[in-house]
Structure 1
Amino acid sequence: MANEQDYDLLVVGGGINGAGIARDAAGRGLRVLLCEKDDLAGHTSSASTKLIHGGLRYLEYYEFGLVRKALKEREVLLRSAPHIIRPLRFVMPHVPHLRPAWMIRIGLFLYDHLSRRELLPGSCGVNLDKHELGTPLQDSMHRGFVYSDAWVDDARLVVLTAIDAQERGARIMTRTELRSAQREAGLWQATLVKDGQTEIKVTVRAIVNAAGPWASELLHRHVHLSARNEVRLVKGSHIVVNRMFDHEHAYIFQHPDKRIVFAIPYEQKFTLIGTTDLEYKGDPGSVNISSDEVSYLCDAANRYFKKSIQAADVLWTYSGVRPLLEQEDASNPSAVTRDYQLELDAAQGQAPILSVFGGKITTFRYLAEEAVNLLAPALGITKPAWTAHASLPGGDIPNADFSGFFQRFQAQYPWLPATLAQRYARSYGTRAERILRECHALSDLGEQLSPDLYEAEVRYLAEHEWARTTDDVLWRRSKLGLHATPAAVQVLQRKLTQFLAESNQR
């Protein structure tokens, strides 16, 4: 019998790619351990623009293969998680001196037809002078284009993927860092450190390096190997302001530097504006927006919206480091490919290690499938790929019809306030009943710890979703941090500590 510290696969990194690979591998019968030095989605994977998209602008860089792959995955993900992923229409006001209309029409035609599209409507033109979509825009904006992509709760996508991995047999260890790994007798001997103090020794047949911005460092410093590829760190920052328009479309703006900036409806009351693209040389774990980036994003919005915003109007910011694939011929960070490279080091007789360089959230499932396929010969995997037609937890909604599901949900729990019902249905899908199964009135949810946040949900997050800190709850498992007061954060911390202690005693 195998030792409980023996695994087929050690996945290092609890971002979207690591979670996706752990899920795919566990579903094919491997004994999988995933370790993440911080929280799941604690860095890059919770700092995205929250989009599942083909990447319209990548067509300008002739990345047709990447766009086709991403568009195909957009359709797959809309079906697999219709609670946390939803269709979103984008408005592109036309600015003639930046890109001619014929170029945009050709790009949108390609975008509509590069991959089969069943769930989303195609693109069209719009007269901004006569349509509500033009109301918030400067009077100089007369025409535009509308096309489809999708919005995603990025951090929840990671958590739900990890839950699926765990339910298929994987072990998920957060706040656990890989200190070192050495090859011995055809296996890897790895040393992990949990919570900065508890040392854990494991023996594994293969390692996946999905450390994102730390992928190169992990290879060089902790595994003492070199690699053909390297990651190039590019910082992307976002700002959140009070809602700047009343409809549910998003905007995509062309900036004079040829970059594009999105303005997206966010958490009912706000607008999310981003992103920047800047070369980054610092610690990926300590990335923050600069005043120049705030000004850049405000200026981009002010070029298009009638309502002007300044730095003082910014309610919240977040920044992340994208671990892009290094390219010698790409001097402009915006031109660096968003595609990925999987590098397998599996010399004959040596335990394999697979490193992930680059990637984007939209293609995580495809990347994971490809990664496990690459490891299959060395690990004797015979089960076929399976994730293309599998729902993520809570996403088993018939016909991916969220509106129909939500109507049934409201009828089942008529006592839930509308905003809370919407958030539970969106965040947890069919699994919301796991929070609500013993509840028949709002009082059954326990104490309200912060606006829209009750004890029952926090207990669930602590026991089933690896939530350990107030930031885990308020900024990654939800976005309720936008509404929380300092006093509410203190109350939440006490309750969270209590729930974790109770859980550990069981």
Structure 2
Amino acid sequence: MVASSVYDVFVIGGGINGCGIARDAAGRGYAVALAEMNDFASGTSSGATKLIHGGLRYLEHYEFRLVREALMEREVLWAMAPHVIWPLRFVLPYQKGGIRPAWLIRLGLFLYDHLGGRKLLPPTRTLDLRRDPAGRPLKPVFGKAFEYSDGWVDDARMVVLNARDAADRGATVLTRSKVVSARREGGLWSISVKDGASGTVNVHQARMLVNASGPWVDQVLTGAFGRNGVHNVRLVQGSHIVVRRKFDDARAYFFQNPDNRIIFAIPYERDFTLIGTTDRDYVGDPKDAKISEEEIRYLCDAASEYFAEPVRPEDIVWSYSAVRPLYDDGASKAQEATRDYVLKLDEGEGAPLLNVFGGKLTTYRRLAEHALERIAEAIGAKGAPWTATSRLPGGEFPVDSYPAQVKSLRASYPFVEEAYAERLVRCYGTRAADLLGSATTITALGRNFGGTLHEAEVRWLMKNEWAQTAEDVLWRRTKQGLFLSAEEAAGLEEYMAGVRRAA
């Protein structure tokens, strides 16, 4: 075993909550380390519906605090990362005699518009689907709809950008590094971390430990901490399907189902439509979650109730499934369990432990601020809150200037085609030029692995964003997996293995 230095804060978990807490703490001057047992966002944080939203349906469950906080965060996060977050209009078709009466929908949308935080996003309006283009893909029975604002996020990229910024601010960031034990010794935490590649176990010390391991939070408490009878989270599986583009409109759809659940149909990666999510209780290891035939049928049938052209299982080009760690509040149904987060501080024997339960993408920054309040109470304050006016790496441009960023990139690199430039700016923002470097031709970017994925981008991701495998690159750093064949993906895996061996 190799002993390491003493940190103020050691974070377990490289999802959005863990990376957000590490970034905030590092920016305030704490000595921070973060350990993730796999790749960043390889669990819940890349398996969401990818929305920055207030949560319109949460109003039905009276979660007003959560909805207000989330609504206020939408434009804060948009300003932080206008490359990976952008506004999206949602169309909610209405049918007389439907699941929810028109007056209830109007009331909910009125609250949604006025609970707080909306300055740039346009307000709700009513649509005549017989005249509006949004009605074209839908069955003719839907003549009316409500249109409202929320936002879209490349969830996995937002996670890795938080990790990148934490590291840039001095945090020690460890991927594929599993915490195998944690115990209190002499007023400090002694944390044993196993490197997934070498098998080496390094021992770190910290004044405070943060368990932000998402759906594994109880497993960490029973495994690394040796506690028995731990049960804090309710695991709820959510699955999504991706099909070839069902509509040309830039807006998304919000569909209400007869069982009172809802699904979204969202424009995805230019050529596709994302449909989801499901809500069902999950038992087992979260890493094994996969979409079931029942969930596939549910999503296809629910979408087909609205679209004039049915959605069939054979239309699916990709699917993904993840487990959400909801704080167990005893709700009877999975879709009714609270989406709010809970922070619990254990100050036993002088070395405090903060456990993080629940949470959602939209409120991760506020969760981190609340976690830093608890950290300050436990080990002393350093610095003031700072993330509300910050920028994530690559997001140093105004929210309305994405087209200008694309134009500027093409002016500097004329060989980059429009669609490729749009993708690079969506992924990397102002750092796209750093990736392209001194290249003056497309061939200077090296081997093309398929789609618009070139060797220069792969090497940049390995050097700057901890990517180690083809899956890291194709499904978390980019979504180029949608455009590569199995053979091309295997070629990328072989190439990256060679780069790792040569390093």
Query: Do these two structures clear the TM 0.5 threshold for a shared fold by scoring above it?
Result: yes
Q: How is 1:479-490 mapped onto 2 (pairs within 5 angstroms)? A: 479-490=479-490
- Partner in structure 1 of residue 367 of structure 2: 367
1:256-303: CA deviations, max 9, x gaps? Answer: 000110000011111000000000011101000000100000001100
C-alpha distance in structure 2 between counterparts of 1:501 and 1:250, whole Å: 44
* Deviation for aligned residue 1:221: 2.3
| Structure 2 residue 181 is matched with structure 1 residue 171 | no
- Partner in structure 2 of residue 320 of structure 1: 322
* Deviation for aligned residue 1:53: 0.3
1:63-88: CA deviations, max 9, x gaps? Answer: 11110000111111000000000000
1:320-371: CA deviations, max 9, x gaps? Answer: 000001012x101111110000001114x51011000011011001101110
- Partner in structure 1 of residue 115 of structure 2: 114
* Deviation for aligned residue 1:171: 1.0
Farther-moved stretch of structure 1 (376-385 vs 239-248): 376-385
Does structure 1 retain, via aligned residues, the 8 Å contact 2:180–2:223? no
SS of alignment partner, residue 5 of structure 1: strand
C-alpha distance in structure 2 between counterparts of 1:8 and 1:478, whole Å: 33
1:95-148: CA deviations, max 9, x gaps? Answer: 332111111111101000101311210100000011110000001000000000
SS of alignment partner, residue 497 of structure 2: helix
SS of alignment partner, residue 398 of structure 1: coil
Q: How is 1:87-126 mapped onto 2 (pairs within 5 angstroms)? A: 87-96=87-96, 97-126=98-127
1:390-432: CA deviations, max 9, x gaps? Answer: 0000001135532232222222222101111011010000011
- Partner in structure 2 of residue 445 of structure 1: 445
- Partner in structure 1 of residue 181 of structure 2: 180
C-alpha distance in structure 1 between counterparts of 2:400 and 2:39, whole Å: 29
Q: How is 1:51-450 mapped onto 2 (pairs within 5 angstroms)? A: 51-96=51-96, 97-195=98-196, 197-225=199-227, 230-328=232-330, 330-347=331-348, 349-398=349-398, 401-450=401-450
SS of alignment partner, residue 224 of structure 2: helix
C-alpha distance in structure 2 between counterparts of 1:428 and 1:501, whole Å: 27
C-alpha distance in structure 2 between counterparts of 1:225 and 1:404, whole Å: 54
Whichever residue aligns with residue 306 of structure 1, its letter is: A
Does structure 1 retain, via aligned residues, the 8 Å contact 2:90–2:148? yes
- Partner in structure 2 of residue 44 of structure 1: 44
Whichever residue aligns with residue 308 of structure 2, its letter is: K
For normalisation by structure 1, the TM-score amounts to 0.96
Does structure 2 retain, via aligned residues, the 8 Å contact 1:229–1:325? no
Does structure 1 retain, via aligned residues, the 8 Å contact 2:13–2:35? yes
Whichever residue aligns with residue 165 of structure 1, its letter is: A
C-alpha distance in structure 2 between counterparts of 1:4 and 1:396, whole Å: 35
SS of alignment partner, residue 137 of structure 2: coil
Aligned length: 499
Farther-moved stretch of structure 1 (453-462 vs 195-204): 195-204
**Any unmatched runs of 5+ in structure 1?**
none
* Deviation for aligned residue 1:226: 6.9
C-alpha distance in structure 2 between counterparts of 1:136 and 1:33, whole Å: 49
SS of alignment partner, residue 449 of structure 1: strand
Relative to structure 1, the CA distance from residue 45 to residue 424 in structure 2 (aligned partners, 3 Å threshold; closer, same or farther) is same
SS of alignment partner, residue 356 of structure 1: strand
C-alpha distance in structure 2 between counterparts of 1:466 and 1:402, whole Å: 26
* Deviation for aligned residue 1:222: 1.4
Farther-moved stretch of structure 1 (243-252 vs 437-446): 437-446
Does structure 2 retain, via aligned residues, the 8 Å contact 1:235–1:322? yes
Does structure 1 retain, via aligned residues, the 8 Å contact 2:222–2:230? no
Relative to structure 1, the CA distance from residue 231 to residue 193 in structure 2 (aligned partners, 3 Å threshold; closer, same or farther) is same
C-alpha distance in structure 2 between counterparts of 1:481 and 1:453, whole Å: 10
**Any unmatched runs of 5+ in structure 2?**
none
SS of alignment partner, residue 298 of structure 1: helix
C-alpha distance in structure 2 between counterparts of 1:49 and 1:177, whole Å: 27
C-alpha distance in structure 2 between counterparts of 1:29 and 1:325, whole Å: 30
* Deviation for aligned residue 1:447: 1.1
SS of alignment partner, residue 110 of structure 1: helix
- Partner in structure 2 of residue 16 of structure 1: 16
Detail structure 1 runs of 4+ shifted over 4 Å in the superposition: 225-229
Does structure 2 retain, via aligned residues, the 8 Å contact 1:136–1:306? yes
Farther-moved stretch of structure 1 (484-493 vs 217-226): 217-226
CA RMSD of aligned residues (A): 1.4
Does structure 1 retain, via aligned residues, the 8 Å contact 2:82–2:399? no
* Deviation for aligned residue 1:225: 4.3
* Deviation for aligned residue 1:313: 1.2
Relative to structure 1, the CA distance from residue 454 to residue 120 in structure 2 (aligned partners, 3 Å threshold; closer, same or farther) is same
SS of alignment partner, residue 403 of structure 2: helix
1:478-503: CA deviations, max 9, x gaps? Answer: 1111111122112212221233334x
C-alpha distance in structure 2 between counterparts of 1:106 and 1:200, whole Å: 55
SS of alignment partner, residue 138 of structure 1: coil
* Deviation for aligned residue 1:4: 4.7
Farther-moved stretch of structure 1 (274-283 vs 227-236): 227-236
C-alpha distance in structure 2 between counterparts of 1:165 and 1:320, whole Å: 25
Percent same amino acid at aligned positions?
Answer: 50
